[in-house]
Amino acid sequence: MIAFFGRSVVQKSITLFFVSVVSFLVIHLAPGQPSQIDPLNPKFTREVVERMRQQFHLDKPLHIQYLLFYRDLFTGKTVSWKDSRPVLGKIYERFLNSLPLFILGTLLTWTFSFPMGIRAAIQRNGPFDKSTTFLSYVLISVPGFFFAYVLIILVVTHLNVPVIDMQTFGVTSDSVMVLFMDRVWHLVLPSILGATGGIAVLSRYVRGQMLEIIGMDYVRTARAKGLSYDGVYYRHALRNALLPFVTMFGLMLPGLIGGSVIIESIFGWPGMGRMAYEAILARDYPVILTLNFITGVLVLAGTFISDLLYMVVDPRIRL
């Protein structure tokens, strides 16, 4: 067990190091300098640019820049080039905005896809299976930005509720209820959009897993024992079919920081995705690199947690 921990930590640290190097190189070797953001801006005089270059160590060789950047990151001193605010604070603020979207989206995804996939597998080739299969393909294929507009048109014209931004601009009311419902309305649409793709993919995956397990010999054994329908499918088959999904809890972790760039920019949601998008537009390297690094950490931590969970639930895997 300790050996497994040690090996994982060493291996993942090495991977993380390379991730940091690659992302640093990708950004710094791309043509263009951050100090040339806007040549037309009158505030950007030669001295200002020079001062900026010095302040942000841009005049030093690349490997020194790399070391300085990650030293700052680990000591929490990295600041955004755009507004000189600490990057971690900025990210945390946006993270809190994205969190409700993530939670609601994940809840929707998991509550819909499992029953859908299981039922489709048990009634293979039946009408429910065929229609959910087709629906899944439609949801996988529909571009998020198009679907968002269709939903906006529907909701705005038929229900007359505003949905852009996190809350209606200038909404003031004494009633907590009104404020709360306003928040909820703004939350629902982006969450549904975030969940549709997930529901489609996950329910297909659940169906495939379940189908594979239903064909196993031990499911036949369970039937030969005289177990009821529920006992066969929900006790013997489902338990095995669900094993791979335990790992998904770990793989969800990076989703915490992802946020969808497209959905957040359509709905004007001030979340992580939007921040990343704005940082890219402004060539705000510290923000981009920090986001990248945190994502890397979360991906690796996620795979580690998956491995651990798998060991817990699958009796065949023991260290």
Partner 1 sequence: MKTITTAHTPQTVLDLDLMPPSRSPWSETWRLLRKNRMAFSGLVIFAIFFIIAVAGMLLTSGRKPVLDPAQVRLQEKLRPPMSVPIPETVVSGTAPILGRYLLGTDDLGRDVFARMLQGAWVSLTVGFVAVGISVLIGIVLGGLAGYFGQRAIRVGHILSWSLVVAAPILALAAKPLAALLAAAGALAGWAFYAWRRRRRGEPTPVLLRWLSWTAIGVDDLVMRAVDIMLCFPSFFLILTVVALLPPSLYTIMIVIGLTSWMGTTRLVRAEFLSLREQDFVAAARALGLSDLHIIFRHIMPNALAPVLVSATLGIASAMLTEAGLSFLGFGVPPPHATWGNILSDGKDFIFDAPWLTFAPGIVILIVLLAFNLFGEGLRDILNPKLRERN
Partner 2 sequence: MASSTDIVLKVEDLRVQFHGDGPVSRAVDGVDFEIRNGETVCIVGESGCGKTVTALAVMGLLPQPPARIAGGRILFGGESLLEMPSSGLRALRGKRMAMVFQEPMTSLNPVFTIGDQISEAILVHEAVTTADARRRTIQLLEDVGITDPGKRIDDYPHQLSGGQRQRAMIAMALACGPELMIADEPTTALDVTVQAQILQLLKRLQQHSRMAIQYITHDLGVVATIADRVYVMYAGMIFEQGTTGHIFNNPRHPYTMALLDSLPTREKRGQRLYSIPGSVPHPAYKPSGCPFHPRCPHRRPSCVDAFPEMCDYGEGHLARCPILYGMERDSA
Contact residues: partner 2, CB under 8 A: 216-218, 220-228, 231, 236, 239-240, 243, 313-316
Q: What is the smallest separation between the CB atom of 309 and partner 2, expressed in angstroms?
A: 14
Residue 288 in contact with partner 1, rule: CB under 8 A: yes
Comparison of 16 and 166: residue with beta carbon closer to partner 1: 16
Please state, as a whole number, how many other Cβ atoms lie within 10 Å of the Cβ of residue 142: 16
Size of the site for partner 1 (CB under 8 A): 50
Comparison of 90 and 204: residue with beta carbon closer to partner 1: 204
The residues, any chain, with a CB within 8 Å of residue 249's CB and separated by 6 or more, are 305, 306, 309
Comparison of 100 and 302: residue with beta carbon closer to partner 1: 302
Q: What is the smallest separation between the CB atom of 143 and partner 1, expressed in angstroms?
A: 5
Question: Which among 191, 200, 197 has a CA at the least distance from the CA of 117?
Answer: 200
State the binding partner of 222 from partner 1, partner 2, none, CB within 5 to 8 A by kind: partner 2
**Token pair belonging to 162:** 């505003």
Comparison of 168 and 295: residue with beta carbon closer to partner 1: 295
**Token pair belonging to 253:** 């972790």
**Token pair belonging to 44:** 């950007």
Q: What is the smallest separation between the CB atom of 2 and partner 1, expressed in angstroms?
A: 22
Residue 265, CA distances (Å) to 109, 158, 272 in order: 21, 23, 10
Residue 299 in contact with partner 1, rule: CB under 8 A: yes
Residue 315 in contact with partner 1, rule: CB under 8 A: no
Q: What is the smallest separation between the CB atom of 211 and partner 2, expressed in angstroms?
A: 12
Comparison of 155 and 227: residue with beta carbon closer to partner 2: 227
Comparison of 92 and 218: residue with beta carbon closer to partner 2: 218
Name the amino acid, one letter, at 203.
S
**Applying CB under 8 A, which residues contact partner 1?**
14-16, 18-19, 22-23, 26-27, 30-32, 133-134, 137-138, 140-147, 149-150, 152-153, 204, 208, 211-212, 215, 254, 258, 261-262, 265, 276-277, 280-281, 283, 288, 291-292, 295-296, 299-300
